[in-house]
Every structure is written in structure tokens, then in C-alpha cells.
Structure 1
Amino acid sequence: MKIENKFEVADGVSTETETDRQIPKAANIGMLRDSGKVFGQMSQNLDEIDSSIDVIASHGERSVAVAARKMKSRLRQVEPSVTMIGQVKSGKTTLVNAMIGMPHLLPADVNPWTSVVTSIHLQKEQTPYCGKAVFRFFGEDEWDRLMSRGGRFGELAGRAGADDDLERVARQLESMREKSKRRLGRKFELMMGQEHKYNSFDEELIERYVCLGDDFETSYDLSPSQGRFADITKSADLYVYRPEFPMNLCIRDTPGVNDTFMMREQITIQAIRGSRTCVVVLSAHQAMSSVDLALVRLIANIQSRNVVIFVNRIDELTDPARQVEEIRASIRETIREHRGPEDAEIVFGSAYWATHALCGTLDQMDAASSAAMLLWAETQDIAWPEGDEGSATDRMIWELSGVPRLLEVLSDRLHRSIGREVADGVARSAINLASSLEASLVPTARPRIESNVIPLNPKSLPGELERIESRAIAELTEKFEALTGDFYHRLEHAHDGFTKRATAALTAHLEKNVEMTAWHYDPTGLRVLFRSAFQVYASRARSTINDVFENATAEVRELYARAFDLEDSTFSLEPPAIPEFPPPVILGKTIALDLGGGWWSRWWKRRRGYKAIAKDFSNMIHEETRSILDGLKEDYGDANRDAAEKILREFLSVQHNVLVELSTRSDVGEKDIAEFGFGEERQLKAEALKHAKKTLSKHVAPAEMETCR
């Protein structure tokens, strides 16, 4: 079947007709299917909730059906994401290809390396999206920032007065600009903020948008197509049909954290914030070396349970069994020293082995790699798989590669995070729908119970609900103003105190060292203070949101009791789920104090005089660290209040629609009882709703107040 695809490129409008391209698939895809089953529990839980919603919707009217459709839509849209980060040449892209069972999807040759965030959306069912690709380009403001100021590094160099660094950046940018124009034409600026869409893709197409080479000065000339759009591409989204996984999943391959201009560091940070689980890919030869400290800074602000470390390329070790334990101890020590997630899971393996196992090409493996594999196999407790010798061997190598173990760990992490959160939120909403219907099944023609509850006229329901919403939003706003004010004050206090201490330390150093030798000040203390401020704020904010939600729910519950003459002990209503706070990954952003000794040595040589050094240092550090503070303010405070307010309004809107509709059903006489099924049919409905609530209650998570660690 042919698919028409039209898109606009920089050097004119072009129409392409493309056939469905078949991306090479692994020969032993059954191994991936077996490994993918570990995601079945999360899928099963969501399916169970979906079925319960169907039961509830079958007993309701319009408002219930509308609410049920929204809940089912949320379940369908669940796509847990995993962000892969690591240094260049850690084998990250090869690992990603192996994880999804498509060894040749993303280019992973010697020269190309990923230069943009590439999101691979694994689709469990055939959808209109399957096989499509979307490539988005930097906006004009982002491109101008790079071209005029050299990105983050240019800003840093300019702030430090590093003229020689600025000249080097300017030369690189000019080379970049000229090569972009040569490839794309003089109108390439018109592509800023635009996107290219394709109905199919292959390795060559992907290479045009996401791959650069090892050498900045020569990478663009490696081939006519490689990296044609890479320097202006911001993100890539590829949609792949993968029925081997029982649920949709997104794997994000990132460009790493050592970008020339630090331009893509912020993009990587945002990718980590948007994912609940992060995989740090290290090379066994240089696991957690000094160059990887940037990775430690990023993951230090994520909960340990959401960080997985995969030590790749153990096939290149001479004695994996012995060396792996040494590497493990070294990683733990480095993480501990730099306040990283000490309890993060560490998995050892080889994407190289996994690729050959998937492709059934073990006979083509390097001899040294095969020898390392045999040594590694002797120490692993893996049962020999069933099947013919060739198939069994492939499966054994697949297990030894560590990829199945990595998928198993990721499944557990995602199930306990996003899986539980979605299940909890939707289950609470569905239980409330069932409770509402149960209330409406009680006929008002029965004798009124003895109660102190003042009956409510159904006509006053809308006004009562508006009053509840107005009061709850006002309470949320007032409390968050105080919370946010205190949070910002803590940040400012920590920031000012750090700048003063750093400057004082420099002054003391200058007084003792007349020759003004190079000196460095560790910013870890500031990050710890910022993180502490965030933890206090996050804990208090969650508690505040919980209180507001509980109070609003109690008031709505009272309305039900008054509208349907219910006993309070027989009717329950769940408060909406508290929104999650993304981890403060911005704390890992690279600043001047994180740079290596060479950069600081040049900084010292440019300055003369005691006062000049102290003043320049104080100003630069104040502005550099200010960027982290401003990022925290932007990510938290108002953003969290707005998220909570949205959830609260949606909750009250559903209750408003259901209450108003059900109140008209309850206003019936004895002659209407049979019509509404208050006899045997009513009993069957009540039992069905009760069973649905019991099923849903298993997915309601206990209340927890967690911080970022």
C-alpha cells in the first residue's frame, strides 16, 4: 500500500510519494516478546479498571457516560516514558535499538552519534500513528540565542570575560552557519519553528535529522545526507508498531550532556523531567569517570527508585566476572561522594551481545567478545533455555546481555510510579461515579430516616456546588501564596548566602596566596540547600493540596446526604488524586563552578589585581547560580497550584453534572419506582456497582507524602 506524504523543505516545496519502508527486524523477535511480558502487570491493572468503568457507565445516564469516556481516554493515553542518558560512545543508541528489538532503527555506527532527543513511541496496537515520524526544529529565538550568544557556553564565557573562548565559539558557530546554508540553502532560517512529517521512515531518513559525527569541524561532510538537518533539529518522534509489548511505551534517546554549546543540555533536562524513570548508560571502561560527574549531578535530584544504571560494553572487558564487582564498587563510591541516588539499581550487560542474539548472528561476533561472554556466563545463574541448539544459544546470549534484566527493572519502576499514579487517579474518579449511582438508586418514596441532616432542594444544587468550588479555589490560592513566598525566600536566602561564602573564601585564598594560584569553589553546598528548600516546599504543598481536596470532598459528600437523604456512614466519596511534582533536575544544570580546571586556569590568567578578581568572581557566580534559582521558581509554585486547581475543578465539574442529573431521578413517586427499577433490577444494579467499587478499590494507593528522594 502506498502512502502519500507532502512536506516543505528549506530550499523549496517538494512533494514525495513514499512506499512503506520496512525497517529491518531482528530474526529472534520472540525473545523480545518474552521479555516484554514483564510489562503485563501494569497493562492488566489498567484493563481491569477500564472494565469496571464500563460496568459503571452501563448503569448511568448522560453525565455518567461523559465522565466515563474521559476516564477511559486517560487510560488509553497512558504511555510511560524512559529517558536514556549517557556520554557519547557509551553505546546508548545501540542499547536502545536492542531494547525495542530493532537493531538497525537508530544509526549507531562508528561516526554518527545522536544529536537530538529522539522519542521512540512503541505502540501495542496498529494505529494511524504507526510508522510515522515527526521532526521538529528549533524556534527562531532558540537559534538566535545560539548564533548571537553561543548558547549556554557563550553566555558563560561572556559573563566571565573569556574573550579567547568567545572567539573559539564564534569560529565554530560561523562554520556551523556556513555548512547549514550550504546544505539547506539560504532560506534555511524559514525552517525555524517548523516540523517535517513522514508517513514512513528508515535509517537513512533518521540519519538526516538526528546524527552528527565525532569531529565538529568535519562531521557535516561525512555524506550528502547524514546530519543534513541535525544542527537545527530539536526533537524527533518515531511511532513504531511493537505488539511484543503489552502496553504503549516511550523510549527517549538523548544527545548526552557534553554538547559543545550546552545548547541541548536543557533539552535533556526537560526530557528527564518528563519521564518517571531514567536510565544512565555508562561504558564499562570508564564507568563514572570524572567526565561523567555531569550525569551524577542530573540524577542526584531524582528518586533512587526511578534511576537505573546500565553499565554497557562489558563484552570489551578481559575478565568481566572480576572487573564488574570493581566497577560496581567504584560507581557506588562516586555516587555517594557526590550525593547521588545511592540505592539506584545497577545492571551490567552488553548491547553488542543483545544485537547479535536478536539478529541470530553469533557466528559473526568478535573473538575477544565471545571469550568475555564465556567468562561472564560462568558466573551467571541462568538456566539453559528450551528449544533447538541454535535458538537456545541465542536466548542464552540474550539473557547474558542484561537487556531482559533491564526491561524487568524498568517494568517494576514504571509500575510503581506512573502505573500506580494513573490507576489511583482514575480508580478514585470511577469509585465516585459508582457511589453517586448507588445514592440515586435509593427511592425517595421510602420513609424518611431519622437524621439531623437538613434536606436539600435539588434546585439549589448548582448554587451550592459553585459555593464549594469558589471557597476551595480561594483556600488553595491563599495557602499557596504563603507556601510559594516561603519557598522563594528560602531559595533567595540560600543563593545570597552561598555567593557571600564563596566570595569570602576567595578573599581568604587571595590573602594567603600572593601569587594568585588557580582556585576552585565546590557548588555542591548550594545545590544541597536548594534541594532542601524544594523538599520542604514539596512536602508542605502536597499536604496543603490534600487538605483542600479533602475539605471540598467532604462538602460534596454532605450535599449527597442532603439531596438523597442518605446516612453518612453508608456513603463515601474519594478525594481526587494529588498531582505529582516532577523532580528538580534543573539543579544538575552545568554552571561555571562545574567546569574543569583548564577553563578556570584561563579565567585566572585573564585577571590582575585582588579587587578585580574578587568582584568579577562574585558577579559571575551570582549570575550563574541565579539561573538555577530562576529555573526552580519557574518549575514550582504557581505551576503546582495551577495543576492542583485544574484537578479540583474537573472533580467538582463531574460532581456537578452527576448530582444535578441524578437529583431529577430521585424525585419520583411510588408509581415511578417500577419504571426506574427499584425492585429486583435495582438490586442487580446495586450489586454490580458494589462489585465494581470493590475491584477499583484495589487500585487506590494509600496516601503518601514523598519528597524528591
Structure 2
Amino acid sequence: MHHDRKISPPVSGPSLEKDLFHGLDPLVSDLRNLDVALQNLQEAGDDANLGAIQKLHGQLRDFEPSVTFIGQVKAGKTSLVNAVTGMGNLLPADVNPWTSVVTSLHLSPTLAPANQHACFRFFAEEEWRNLLNTGGRVGELASRAGADKELEKVRQQLNDMRQKSRARLGASFEQLLGQTHEYRYIDEELIQRYVCLGDEFDLDTNADKTQGRFADITKSADLFVSKPALPLKLCLRDTPGVNDTFMVREQITVNAIRGSRLCVVVLSASQALSTVDLALIRLVANIPTRDVIIFVNRVDELANPPEEIPEIRASILKTLSGQGISANIEIIFGSAHWASHALSGKIGAMDPASAEAMIKLARFEATRKSLPKDPVALVWSLSGLPDLGRAVAERIVSGEGAQSIEAIATGARNVANAISASRAMSDRRIFEGPCTPVDAAELSRAIDAIAATTISSLTQELDDLLVALDARLEKSRHSFVSRAVVSLIEHLEAHGEDVVWTYDPTGLRLLLRSGYQVFSAKASRSGEEQYLGCSLKLKNLFLENFALSQVGFDLESPPLPMPGVPVTLGQTIALDIKGGWWTRWWRRKRSYAAYGEEFRALVDAEIAPMVETIKAELATSFSQALTSELEEFIVGQRNVFLSLAQRSQADLADVRHQQDDAFDQRNASLNEARSILMDFGRTESGKAHR
């Protein structure tokens, strides 16, 4: 469904946010230089290279690093996202607890305000049906644990939720499921209609403009926003809070993290790392430390920030350590509330308690570093937003940015080498006379042989690693369950059934995570070796057939794809929930052996989906990505080689015709491109394993 309306774009406050991501400037400079290099290659090349150059241009144009913000409800996550964008109240910060919308803000410095647009996607009927039939994740856990009361309670809540949705949307409820609504404008009212669940739907109002009309069936919102102050395109992803009755939002957050290299975990200073936050920590534990930033929000609510912040930091680090998370993770303290006052310029409107907390923090910080003298700049500095912008920029530059730069530069250098080879062949035809034509069919068969051997070898190595991973995961599962059952029996023998026994599944997650990390590291090494071997074989094939060794022809292997993050390991399982269902399960009268058998069956049922996700959605997908990258590389080189083979057979008059008056200009463009690309040496980023 498509809608169109002319409306003014959101208005930004003062431009304090202009310097928020200035740490991205080196990356922006590199991207611009690559763009110039590709333009020169396009001017220097011919039709045979145009497709490869356009593909690289597309990668450059589409580069949009993303940052996912996660946190529990009321941590101030959305307010922080609004402050980061410098757009005040664009996203509704006070959403209804039912809301399960992932909102992606696609910020672009090149998008004209008149071209801002929005896209809203609804849950599919199948997803609703699954919720009603199984009760979502909580229903699944309750069903496995035999917690019939919890399951019935969840189903009743879901039925109530569906009935309210019907009352809100009427007969069109079923028709809307699975649909997409698109708009050629953005404003706060539009966003609230899809993201913020308001009061009960009033049939007497204008339905299309009612706040929250579609919010309870909206799954995701993509907002494309003009931000001229930004140095490059950036996607900020705001996720629903993870403390969800049905754990729908936990799964949505898991999927959002998968699609982003960088994650900002937002905690509330007044209740940092509460029981609910442990769900967040379980998710974060599976993300490389370098790709995580913890922002402790709402320090404005602390009575004495200078004294309380160190205590909160120590508590967070202790909890992280218990989940196997490195102490090197960056923790930033700040206040989206202060940032919003700085952006609006209305720092005098700050409530007295918040202002007092800020004054205490300013006095303390002044003893350690120089602070801005301008009041607005001072509040902005103490809000923590500049530190957050710096941390985000550093990670984008060294992570997603470095990987993209390497991939594009590698492809561009290979194109430049192909153009040089084509140029050298034309020169030889003109100045040295006829040369031995290259048999294109025979050359194609030789490339096929290299492809078949290399791909077969890589596939076999990856298959062997998948088998080894499967065995390791099963061993980890068996080891964990066996130890847990032993602990259970020992507890029963020592304390009987009156003392409720629990068992921490952290060890299981560590074992499964370690198994996947070993697999991804070995798979990456296999891919790197096969990529390198293939590029060397193709280079030798080129030299054998075209006799252009004087050109200094080189062929770089493609960079490795990145393995997926096993964030699914952090999702809630039955052993994480120490509520009433566990007590009732525990107090069912049965023998000690029956306890062990039921516990083993329960844990096996909980672990099976996690293990299957690691194997099917992560390990197998990574193997396929490694193979696909190699296949794509070979196809690209095949096109180059066969184009050169055709040139070796071309009529001399045609070759002379190509050496027209623009030859010198094309040669200068090629040299300029090579000069630029020399500054982009192969880095370690392509070899890093997540």
C-alpha cells in the first residue's frame, strides 16, 4: 500500500550533533577516494570491465553501517536514539509495553528533505497463529516444563490482545496482516500511528489519524531521514524492550542484532543490571566485546553521580565477568534527558533534582579534565553523547568500515590489473605484430577445472568441519546435562524435596559458544587458504596464456565474509526462569530417578533449538557464504580472461581503432586510479574472526 502527502520534514534542534560522529571523517575520506578511483577506472576501461566497476560502485553507494540499540523497557533507549539523531521527539519514547516494533532510522546526508519516506511492515498471519497456538516463547517453555497454568495464562493474554486489535482495526484486521504500508513523508503523528500504542480506538474519530491504530500489529518500521550534518549514511536501529511477556520482542531483538555489527546496550543507572537486564547480558555475551558498547542512561536520576557511578560500574563488570564477558568492554555513563535539553537549548527548564545531579557531576569532572565554558556545550558534554559518538565512530571505522573498504579496494585493484593487461595486449598487437590467439574454449575449460578443484576442496573441508561441530555440540550438550543430573541427585540426597534446586545454564552457553567459535575460526582459515590458492592458480593460468609477464599482472584473493554472531545462544530457556512454574515442577512427587529423567528431557528439549540454530542458521550459512564468495570471484575472473582471449583474436584494424585520441586520457585515468588504490593495502580486518 502506498501513500503520498506533502509535509515538512522533522526539524532538528541546534547542531551540537554535527560533531557527534566526526570520528567517521577518516572513513568518509577513504570512501571518497575509492569513489574517485572507481570513476577513473570507468574512464580508463571498456565494456568488458563496466559490470565489475558498476558492482563496486553499488557496494560503495549502499554502504550504511548500522548500530542497534537494545535495552529493557523504561531504560530511556528511545530517548537516547532521539538524542543521537538530534531530532528530539521523532520516535515516541513512552510506548505501550505491548509494542514490539523494531524502528530503523536510515539517516542520510544526501537525501533531500522532500524525499524522506517511511515503510511499515505488519506481522504475518502465520506469526499471529503461532502465538495463539503455542503462546510464543513463554508458551513453548511452559509447555515443555509442564507448567499448564502459565501456558493457559499466556493464551488468555494473547486472546485479549487479539480482541483489542480487532476492536481497533475492525474487519480489516486479518487483511492487514502481512501487508506493508509506505509513505512519502515522515512526521511524528505518522510514526505514532504505527509505533506508539495509544488509548482504546475510538470509532468516532478519524481512524487513519488515530494514535497507535496499527501499533499492535506493526513488526518493523523503516524511516528514511535527511540528515545533512552527518558525514555518511548511518542506520540507527531502536528495538523493543526485552522484558516481554511472550518473549516475542526478545526474538525480534535477536534478529535485529544479527543484522548489525555494532550493539549499544542501554541500562538505567537507577536499576543497572536488574533481573530483567540479565536477559540482555545473555545476548551480549555472544557478541564480540569490540562490537558492544554499554551506555548507562539516566545518571540525572542519581542523587550523587560522582559517588554512585564507580559503584555501578564495578557492579556491572562483576556481572559481566560472571557471564564470561571481557572487562575491556566500554561502559559510558550519561543522560539522554540532559542531551535533549542541550539540543533544545532550554537547559534552564531542567527540573531541580536533575540540575543538582548535573552540577555535582560537573564539579567532579572539572577536577579531572577541562570542561566547556558555554553552558549548553557543558550540558551536552556531561550527557555522555560525545563519548558515545566517539565510541560508535571508532568501532565503525575499525570494523564494518575497514571490511567494506578492503573488499572494494581489492576488487578495484583486480579491475585495474585487468585493464592494464588489456592495454598491454593491444600495444603488443600494434607494435609487435600478430600474436598467437588464445583459444577461449580451452581457456574456459581450464578455468572450469580450477573452479571444480578449489570449490570441491573447500566444500569438503567445510563439510568435515560441520560434522566436527555437530559432534562437539552434542558432546557439550551431553556433558552439561550429565553434570546437571548428578548435581540434582546429590541435592535430593542431601536436602530432599523441600529445598528447591536450581542450576545455572551459563556453562552450557559457554560450551556451545566455544564450539561455534572454533568452527568459524577453522572455516575462515580454510576459506583463506582456498581463496589464496585459487587466485594463484588463476594468475598462473593468465601468465601461461597471455605472455604478459612484463605487465606485472597480479590477482588478489577476495576478502573473507564475516561469520554470524551466535546471539541466539542468549535467548531465554527454561532454566533461566526461576518463577512459580519451576517450583511447581519441582514439588511434583516422584522418585529421584524420575526427577533426573524429566530434567534431562526438559533440558534436551530446550537445547535442541539452540543447537539446530547454530548448525543451520550460523555454521551452514557461513559455509555457504564462503563458497559463494569464491564462486563469484571465479565468475568475475572468467569474464576478464575470456574478454582478453577475444581481444587476442581481434582484427588489427579494430585494435588500432581503439587506440584513438582518448587513449592518453584513459591511460592517465588508469594511472590515477592505481595511485589512489596503492594507499589501500590489505589489512588484517578481512582475516579477523568474530
With the length of structure 2 as denominator, give the TM-score of the two structures: 0.92
1:654 partnered with 2:636: yes
Contact 1:281 1:310 in 2 (8 A): yes
- Residue equivalent to 1:603: 585
- Deviation track 1:107-156 (CA, whole Å, cap 9, x = no partner) reads 11386785311111101112699421111111222111101111000011
Cα distance, 1:508 vs structure 2: 2.0
1:529 partnered with 2:516: no
- Deviation track 1:548-590 (CA, whole Å, cap 9, x = no partner) reads 1112111211122123213389221100111111211111011
With the length of structure 1 as denominator, give the TM-score of the two structures: 0.90
Q: Distance in 2 between matches of 1:219 and 1:255?
A: 21
1:699 partnered with 2:669: no
Closer, same or farther: CA 514–459 of 1 in aligned 2, 3 Å: closer
Q: Distance in 1 between matches of 2:98 and 2:87?
A: 17
For 1:555-594, list aligned pairs within 5 A. Answer: 555-567=537-549, 570-594=552-576
- Residue equivalent to 1:35: 20
Q: Distance in 1 between matches of 2:624 and 2:298?
A: 45
Contact 1:303 1:341 in 2 (8 A): no
Query: Quick one: which amino acid aligns to residue 679 of structure 2?
Result: K
1:263 partnered with 2:244: no
- Residue equivalent to 2:220: 235
1:18 partnered with 2:5: yes
Query: Quick one: which amino acid aligns to residue 570 of structure 1?
Result: G
1:407 partnered with 2:389: yes
- Residue equivalent to 1:617: 599
Q: Distance in 2 between matches of 1:424 and 1:572?
A: 16
Q: Distance in 2 between matches of 1:683 and 1:465?
A: 33
Aligned length: 678
CA RMSD, aligned part only? Answer: 2.8
Q: Distance in 2 between matches of 1:673 and 1:172?
A: 76
- Residue equivalent to 1:539: 521
- Residue equivalent to 1:496: 478
- Residue equivalent to 1:197: 182
Closer, same or farther: CA 459–338 of 1 in aligned 2, 3 Å: closer
- Deviation track 1:133-188 (CA, whole Å, cap 9, x = no partner) reads 11111122211110111100001111111121112112211211211111111441
Residue number among 427, 444, 460 corresponding to 2:428 in the alignment:
444
1:473 partnered with 2:463: no
Contact 2:11 2:87 in 1 (8 A): yes
Contact 1:607 1:613 in 2 (8 A): no
Q: Distance in 1 between matches of 2:5 and 2:663?
A: 58
Cα distance, 1:190 vs structure 2: 2.2
Residue number among 309, 313, 318 corresponding to 2:294 in the alignment:
309
Query: Quick one: which amino acid aligns to residue 510 of structure 1?
Result: L
- Residue equivalent to 1:347: 332
- Residue equivalent to 2:280: 295
Q: Structure 1 stretch 510-519 or stretch 305-314: which is displaced more?
A: 510-519
Q: Distance in 1 between matches of 2:388 and 2:91?
A: 19
Cα distance, 1:385 vs structure 2: 5.0
For 1:120-519, list aligned pairs within 5 A. Answer: 120-126=105-111, 130-212=115-197, 225-380=210-365, 383=370, 385=372, 392-442=374-424, 443-445=427-429, 457-519=439-501
- Deviation track 1:596-618 (CA, whole Å, cap 9, x = no partner) reads 35442233234544344322221
Query: Quick one: which amino acid aligns to residue 683 of structure 2?
Result: P
Q: Distance in 1 between matches of 2:12 and 2:651?
A: 67
Contact 1:119 1:251 in 2 (8 A): yes
Cα distance, 1:85 vs structure 2: 0.6
Query: Quick one: which amino acid aligns to residue 535 of structure 1?
Result: Q
Closer, same or farther: CA 335–701 of 1 in aligned 2, 3 Å: farther
Query: Quick one: which amino acid aligns to residue 699 of structure 1?
Result: F
Cα distance, 1:636 vs structure 2: 2.4
Closer, same or farther: CA 686–187 of 1 in aligned 2, 3 Å: closer
Q: Distance in 1 between matches of 2:627 and 2:113?
A: 34
Q: Structure 1 stretch 233-242 or stretch 556-565: which is displaced more?
A: 556-565
For 1:616-655, list aligned pairs within 5 A. Answer: 616-655=598-637
Query: Quick one: which amino acid aligns to residue 594 of structure 1?
Result: D
Query: Quick one: which amino acid aligns to residue 154 of structure 1?
Result: G
Q: Distance in 2 between matches of 1:571 and 1:129?
A: 48
Closer, same or farther: CA 212–244 of 1 in aligned 2, 3 Å: same
Q: Distance in 2 between matches of 1:385 and 1:518?
A: 56
- Deviation track 1:303-331 (CA, whole Å, cap 9, x = no partner) reads 11110011111111121122211211221
- Residue equivalent to 2:645: 663
Cα distance, 1:220 vs structure 2: 8.1
Q: What secondary structure does 2:586 align onto?
A: helix
Contact 2:430 2:656 in 1 (8 A): no
Contact 2:267 2:297 in 1 (8 A): yes
Residue number among 29, 39, 53 corresponding to 1:54 in the alignment:
39
Q: Distance in 2 between matches of 1:702 and 1:548?
A: 18
Q: Structure 1 stretch 659-668 or stretch 194-203: which is displaced more?
A: 659-668
Contact 1:455 1:565 in 2 (8 A): no
Q: Structure 1 stretch 572-581 or stretch 475-484: which is displaced more?
A: 475-484
- Which structure has greater helix proportion? 2
Q: What secondary structure does 1:55 align onto?
A: helix
Cα distance, 1:96 vs structure 2: 0.3
Query: Quick one: which amino acid aligns to residue 25 of structure 1?
Result: S
Cα distance, 1:472 vs structure 2: 2.2
Q: What secondary structure does 1:118 align onto?
A: strand
- Residue equivalent to 2:536: 554
